[in-house]
């Protein structure tokens, strides 16, 4: 055959050198007894959520809502905002991608405290935007003064992850309000609150977006069903923002953002917000046990308000991750920076503390 030509036209140069998405359990999911690498909820969805999703499957011949309207309306009621202030997508990370594509041209700057969520550089890179990384302070917290200094005329978007992934650290409400107010109006401020349910009481979590959005037109708040709502595998996230921002996202988003069974599951989850409070309470107690146990063993543990702990072990990160792996525990390694461990159930916490104690013993012997 002479008409065979296996050459592939090259993709855009913007893709060159992008890190690509990693995975907490390094592609070996089945092997781990303790899956603490991806900040997922330890237990599966409630029977009511599963039933709602199953029931929706029978309507699978029909297209779902064009823009996920039913879910957007329920979320608008929950947060006390207009339904035109909500956009939904298959994960909040999809919305962040839409935001960056809608606001950034190649060469524009995105300011972000760093270390933070590893998706941010990928999304910035795909848009050809330049990520301006602002170092965290000595306690691994975002540094408001340094962030403001880093925002110049070329900055289009600032991303604030609060609580921050992977450090778990958070700015208090008044610090965050002051920072948002200090950022210039030409900058779209994206507040990624994937872990907000773990940081504050339920009432505060529900009303804080409306309170902030009435004061700041340049604010977008990202929330997700993946963490405290326990639906990471179903892929549902949303953003709350001025209707003009939501319209811009609709312009760049393909229609039918969510499958009907996912919408049904998310609506059923919203009917039982007490499940989230229970998860947050369980998380606080496991996180407390794990943090004090690790501190007692001499690990450098950052002050976490999320469902994970950050151990700033620097050059030991890879070896410590391998040690946990050998104990059947998946954690997330950030080479030469630290290790992030998700909180789980009693057995998970016990396993982490036992493996950490064994690590200390090995260290002391050598």
Ligand X SMILES: *Cc1c(COP(=O)(O)O)cnc(C)c1O
Instruction: Mark 166-197 as b/e (b = at least 16 C-beta within 10 Å).
Output: bbbbbbeeeebbebbeebeeebbbbbbbbbbb
Distance between CA 122 and CA 117 in Å, rounded? 10
| CA torsion through residues 143, 148, 154, 157, sign | positive
Q: How far is the CB of 45 from ligand X (least distance, A)?
A: 15
Per-residue binding string, ligand X, 189-228, x by CB under 6 A, is ---x-x-----------------------------x-xx-
Distance between CA 254 and CA 235 in Å, rounded? 16
Instruction: Mark 12-51 as b/e (b = at least 16 C-beta within 10 Å).
Output: eeeeeeeeeeeebbeeeeeebebbbbbbbbbeebbeebee
By C-beta, is 136 or 356 nearer to ligand X? Answer: 136
By C-beta, is 150 or 231 nearer to ligand X? Answer: 231
Tokens for 20, please give them: 């690509």
Residues that bind ligand X (rule: CB under 6 A) add up to a total of 14
Pick from 72, 155, 159, 161: which binds ligand X (CB under 6 A)? 161
Pick from 92, 98, 162, 342: which binds ligand X (CB under 6 A)? 92
By C-beta, is 183 or 194 nearer to ligand X? Answer: 194
Q: Which of residues 105-144 bind ligand X (CB under 6 A)?
A: 117
75 touches ligand X (CB under 6 A): no
45 touches ligand X (CB under 6 A): no
Q: Are the C-beta atoms of 134 and 296 separated by less than 8 Å?
A: no
Pick from 24, 45, 91, 168: which binds ligand X (CB under 6 A)? 91
* Residue in 322, 331, 327 with CA at minimum distance from that of residue 355: 327
229 touches ligand X (CB under 6 A): no
Q: Where does this chain touch ligand X (CB under 6 A) — which range of 51-59, 85-93, 261-269, 336-344?
A: 85-93
By C-beta, is 165 or 355 nearer to ligand X? Answer: 165
286 touches ligand X (CB under 6 A): no
Q: Which residue is nearest to ligand X (CB)?
A: 91
By C-beta, is 192 or 355 nearer to ligand X? Answer: 192
Q: How far is the CB of 196 from ligand X (least distance, A)?
A: 11
∠ Cα 110 37 135 (to 5°)? 30
Q: Which of residues 230-269 bind ligand X (CB under 6 A)?
A: 232, 237
Torsion of CA 254, 255, 261, 262, to 10 degrees: 50
93 touches ligand X (CB under 6 A): yes
Write out the H or E segment, with its range, that includes residue 296.
Answer: helix 274-296
In sequence order, which residues have a C-beta less than 8 Å from that of residue 313 and are 6 or more positions away? 299, 300, 320, 338, 339
Q: How far is the CB of 357 from ligand X (least distance, A)?
A: 28
Q: How far is the CB of 308 from ligand X (least distance, A)?
A: 9
* Alpha-carbon separation of residue 63 from 57, 237, 255, 285 (angstroms): 12, 19, 10, 43
39 touches ligand X (CB under 6 A): yes
Binding stretches for ligand X (CB under 6 A): 39, 91-93, 117, 161, 165, 192, 194, 224, 226-227, 232, 237
């Amino acid at each position: 055959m002479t008409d065979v030509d296996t050459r592939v036209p090259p993709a855009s140069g913007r893709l060159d050198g992008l890190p690509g998405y990693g995975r907490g359990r390094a592609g070996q999911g089945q092997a781990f007894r303790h899956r603490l690498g991806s900040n997922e909820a330890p237990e599966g969805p409630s029977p009511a959520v599963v039933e709602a999703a199953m029931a929706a499957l029978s309507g699978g011949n029909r297209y779902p809502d064009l823009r996920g309207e039913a879910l957007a309306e329920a979320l608008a009621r929950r947060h006390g905002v207009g339904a035109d202030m909500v956009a939904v997508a298959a994960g909040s990370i999809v919305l962040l991608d839409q935001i960056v594509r809608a606001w950034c041209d190649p060469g524009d700057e995105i300011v972000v405290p760093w270390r933070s969520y590893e998706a941010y550089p990928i999304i910035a890179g795909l848009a050809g935007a330049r990520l301006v990384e602002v170092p965290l302070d000595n306690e691994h917290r975002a540094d408001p003064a340094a962030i403001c200094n880093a925002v110049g005329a070329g900055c289009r978007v600032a991303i604030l992850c609060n609580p921050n992934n992977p450090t778990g650290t958070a700015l208090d409400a008044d610090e965050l309000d002051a920072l948002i107010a200090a950022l210039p109006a030409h900058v779209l401020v994206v507040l990624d609150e994937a872990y907000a349910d773990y940081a504050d009481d339920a009432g505060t979590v529900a009303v804080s977006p409306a309170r902030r959005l009435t004061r700041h037109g340049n604010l977008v708040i990202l929330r997700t069903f993946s963490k405290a709502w326990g639906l990471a595998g179903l892929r549902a996230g949303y953003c709350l923002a001025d209707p003009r921002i939501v319209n811009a996202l609709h312009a760049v988003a393909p229609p039918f953002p969510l499958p009907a069974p996912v919408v049904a599951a998310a609506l059923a989850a919203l009917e039982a917000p007490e499940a989230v409070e229970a998860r947050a309470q369980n998380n606080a107690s496991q996180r407390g046990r794990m943090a004090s146990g690790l501190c007692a063993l001499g690990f450098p543990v950052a002050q976490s308000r999320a469902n994970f702990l950050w151990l700033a072990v620097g050059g030991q990160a890879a070896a410590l991750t391998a040690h946990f792996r050998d104990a059947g525990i998946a954690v997330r390694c950030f080479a030469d920076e630290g290790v992030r461990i998700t909180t789980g159930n009693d057995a998970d916490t016990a396993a982490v503390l036992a493996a950490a104690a064994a690590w200390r013993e090995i260290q002391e012997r050598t």
